[in-house]
């Protein structure tokens, strides 16, 4: 069986890595790795391939940035040629980025079956580009690999047949479990404890002048009580420059370039608190037992709130500060790890593939 994996953006890389490794141990599968080039900077892509010990992609499509239509269309055109040339038996797609939906649409027209890893997550917020990507990808994928029970319920409600849904657990946690022991690195010596770790890149937070200004003002205030470490996503950097936001270069609010997987894991696992709008980080903090404050009105990962350490603060900066100061006083939810977030999700995926 020839399996072709499509990845393109930073959060895809830690999801494909454990699946690739698990399939690689099987003699009856051939694999191909296609990188669309949706993310292309060294620190958004190459560093992850190195640290996750992923092989070089068989094909790099180099689509780069653009509007949603431009980016999605460019991926579709390029991927159609790759699929026609390589004729895979099965295609695996990951998460909810534009590369995921673009590849799935092309496969469905070429009648190539698709497996979607991280299927069924819903924020029920159709203003999020990722929610549109999730809805379309799941409707036209053939096999849906879900990370948690809520995802199965969402898919069944949308009319997906039960026999196509497989609750396998969280592949991102497979990578975390494997690499956490390697994440204790010298970089951490430059950081003083305790610290809050911040990541922000959602268009709803960073693409609007007033909102981004408000968030930065709040971080400056928070940094009077605790050191704030903020690796800045390229989208956010671009917006900080565009809106001419002034950020004092005080030692207590440290802005830095995006960092690699191992450094980020080291920072995350030792943080007093994480402030984020990322999906994956809500999951990783839940696994690590680190309190997480999510600057979003909703989440497609509700188990991180109901079971884990995550709290949604929406756009309410006063609430963010209140929760932040409670955490500094030791008052926070300790949380548990959701079922099947155990490092073996990719092994369960391989079992399903073998049974096909």
Residues of this chain, 241-300, that bind ligand UD1 according to CB under 6 A: none
Interface with ligand UD1 includes 73 (CB under 6 A)? Answer: no
CB of 2 to ligand UD1, least distance (A): 26
- From the candidates 68, 201, 208, 334, which is the catalytic residue? 201
Report which of 250, 239, 207, 226 is spatially closest to residue 329, judged by C-alpha positions: 226
Q: Which stretch binds ligand UD1 (CB under 6 A): 84-92, 167-175, 228-236, 247-255?
A: 228-236
Residues of this chain, 9-38, that bind ligand UD1 according to CB under 6 A: 9-11, 38
Residues of this chain, 112-131, that bind ligand UD1 according to CB under 6 A: 129-130
Q: For the range 238-243, what are the long-range contacts, defined as Cβ-Cβ under 8 Å and sequence gap of 24 or more?
A: 239/206, 239/207, 239/212, 240/212, 240/216, 243/209, 243/212, 243/213
- Angle at CA of residue 220, ends 260 and 277, nearest 5°: 45
- Provide the angle, in degrees to the nearest 10, between the axes of the packed helices 279-288 and 261-269: 50
109 three-state secondary structure: helix
Residues of this chain, 147-206, that bind ligand UD1 according to CB under 6 A: 201
Among positions 36, 98, 227, 309, the unique one binding ligand UD1 when judged by CB under 6 A: 98
Q: Which stretch binds ligand UD1 (CB under 6 A): 168-176, 224-232, 233-241, 299-307?
A: 233-241
Among positions 213, 235, 270, 315, the unique one binding ligand UD1 when judged by CB under 6 A: 235
Report which of 274, 267, 263 is spatially closest to residue 309, judged by C-alpha positions: 274
Asked if 201 is an active-site residue, the reply is yes
Interface with ligand UD1 includes 234 (CB under 6 A)? Answer: yes
How many binding residues for ligand UD1 (CB under 6 A)?
19
Give buried/exposed letters for 218-242 (b at 16+ CB in 10 A, else e). Answer: bbbebbeebbbbbbbbbebeebbee
Q: Which is nearer to ligand UD1, 223 or 278 (CB)?
A: 278
Interface with ligand UD1 includes 40 (CB under 6 A)? Answer: yes
Interface with ligand UD1 includes 301 (CB under 6 A)? Answer: no
Interface with ligand UD1 includes 97 (CB under 6 A)? Answer: yes
> Phi-psi category of 94—alpha, beta or left, where left has phi over 0 and alpha has psi -120 to 50?
beta
Phi, psi of 288 (to 5 degrees): -80, -10
Query: Which residues of this protein are in contact with ligand UD1, per CB under 6 A?
Result: 9-11, 38-41, 44, 65, 96-98, 129-130, 201, 233-235, 238
């Amino acid at each position: 069986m020839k399996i072709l994996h499509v990845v393109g953006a930073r959060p895809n890389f830690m999801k494909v890595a454990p699946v690739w490794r698990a399939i690689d141990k099987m003699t009856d599968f051939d694999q191909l790795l296609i990188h669309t080039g949706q993310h292309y900077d060294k620190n958004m892509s190459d560093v992850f391939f190195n640290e996750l010990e992923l092989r070089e992609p068989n094909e790099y499509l180099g689509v780069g940035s653009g509007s949603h239509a431009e980016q999605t269309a460019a991926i579709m055109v390029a991927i159609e040629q790759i699929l026609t040339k390589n004729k895979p038996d099965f295609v695996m797609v990951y998460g909810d980025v534009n590369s995921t939906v673009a590849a799935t649409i092309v496969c469905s027209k070429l009648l190539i079956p698709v497996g979607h890893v991280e299927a069924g997550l819903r924020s029920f917020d159709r203003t999020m580009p990722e929610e549109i990507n999730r809805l379309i990808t799941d409707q036209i994928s053939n096999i849906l690999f879900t990370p948690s029970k809520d995802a199965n319920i969402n898919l069944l409600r949308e009319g997906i047949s039960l026999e196509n849904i497989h609750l396998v657990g969280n592949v991102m946690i497979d990578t975390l479990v494997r690499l956490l022991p390697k994440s204790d690195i010298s970089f951490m010596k430059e950081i003083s404890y305790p610290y809050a770790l911040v990541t922000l890149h959602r268009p709803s937070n960073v693409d609007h002048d007033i909102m981004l200004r408000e968030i930065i003002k709040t971080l400056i205030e928070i940094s009077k009580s605790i050191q704030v470490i903020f690796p800045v996503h390229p989208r956010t950097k671009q917006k900080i420059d565009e809106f001419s936001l002034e950020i004092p270069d005080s030692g207590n609010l440290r802005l830095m370039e995006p960092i690699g997987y191992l450094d980020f894991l080291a920072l995350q696992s030792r943080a007093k608190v994480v402030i984020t709008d990322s999906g994956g980080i809500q999951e990783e903090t839940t696994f690590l037992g680190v309190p997480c404050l999510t600057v979003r009105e909703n989440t497609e990962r509700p188990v991180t709130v109901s079971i884990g350490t995550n709290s949604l603060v929406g756009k309410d900066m006063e609430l963010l500060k209140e929760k932040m100061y409670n955490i500094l006083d030791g008052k926070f939810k300790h949380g548990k790890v959701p079922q099947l977030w155990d490092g073996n999700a990719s092994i369960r995926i391989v079992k399903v593939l073998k049974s096909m």
